[in-house]
Structure 1
């Protein structure tokens, strides 16, 4: 069954939330992360079903230099409220920093034979256009080239909001990683977060691996 693809994996959630996006978006945008919170918790719960020793969270935080990401290990969904509350989002953010941390961690553990048998899934929650788009694409392509199979590692981008430039960039990652950047495997799947059916979270995770 397709569900077996999700078993015996490590799950990582990167929360790339910024305050800059709030000031440039229409009224009510600042409520969208709050509105999405229950769905984020549900997503974490679904990940925990397949990764019962706890998921890894990278949370954007203004408490860190240049709005870097704070890492939490072996997180349960019940801890998410506290993690969100103790990290105020930065004005500017390098998504590459958080993504590269997650990728480096995976390949370091893989070299030490500490990864789970089926690999990993990384999910990125993002609300606006990344400032380092080409570097992100190259980092993902480099990671894809280091994989042994096309479903060893999947990266899912869930876009919160209506930033059309961000959506276009994510669509390009989804559709053109191999054709334009020359990656060995297509390991990216993107989705507008509001369009993910709460009853279809398993399908979303499977789509990340099947691209």
Structure 2
């Protein structure tokens, strides 16, 4: 078994990180991790932590794809700009996950290994299309380590947990298994650095 890769200045340069952020209406629901806060606020804290850590290795910032009703791409986001995105967007509308995955995949392509951390709290409205988008992204890869999608569940929605588990293990037509998932119970015990280390080792 290979030793777990830790984040360092050397390993960080091998990866491009993209964040997917669910901004659908249900993200306004109460957080199960932080009493008194919403899932949206929980996501903000975690993504700020991710941007702060990754900013130590890449001053250009990270790309964030926000999907809720519509999809919007924010490129080169540094930690001090994360709050601007959350101020600009608020939870509303549907969960267009397929379009978000297409945008995340489009941002890949500079020769580095791509890592997407997608924070979501529910099943998408376009379930079949989302599955197809992941399969398409997988099937154009040369190596399975070239692209990893780590879904991080926010909240305790049972339907979301079941769907994410299906993405992890059930996409049999994909060339490579590029999806991993973290349940809400697991995520509650993890800090942002733990999510990064998990993603780069999948």
CA distance in 2, matches of 1:203, 1:7: 18
Q: How many residues align?
A: 192
CA distance in 2, matches of 1:129, 1:9: 28
Structure 2 unaligned segments of length 5 or more: list them.
none
Q: Does 1:59 align with 2:66?
A: yes
Question: For residues 188 and 51 of structure 1, do their structure 2 counterparts lie closer, same or farther at Cα, with a shift above 3 Å needed?
Answer: farther
Superposition pairs of residues 60-79 of structure 1, within 5 angstroms: 60=67, 67-79=69-81
Quick check: which one's helix share is greater?
1
Q: Does 1:208 align with 2:199?
A: yes
1:14–1:125: 8 Å Cα contact kept in structure 2? yes
Choose from 52, 61, 64 the match for 1:45: 52
1:57–1:75: 8 Å Cα contact kept in structure 2? yes
Question: For residues 134 and 210 of structure 1, do their structure 2 counterparts lie closer, same or farther at Cα, with a shift above 3 Å needed?
Answer: farther
1:9–1:51: 8 Å Cα contact kept in structure 2? no
Q: Does 1:15 align with 2:21?
A: yes
Q: Does 1:150 align with 2:156?
A: no
TM-score of the superposition, structure 1-length normalised? Answer: 0.78
Superposition pairs of residues 1-211 of structure 1, within 5 angstroms: 2-3=5-6, 5-20=11-26, 22=28, 31-60=38-67, 67-106=69-108, 110=109, 115=110, 117-177=111-171, 181-193=172-184, 194-198=187-191, 201-211=192-202
1:18–1:91: 8 Å Cα contact kept in structure 2? yes
User: 1:131-170: per-residue Cα shift (whole Å, max 9, x none)?
Assistant: 1122211211111111111111111111111111111110
1:173–1:188: 8 Å Cα contact kept in structure 2? yes
What secondary structure is seen at the aligned counterpart in 2 of 1:136?
helix
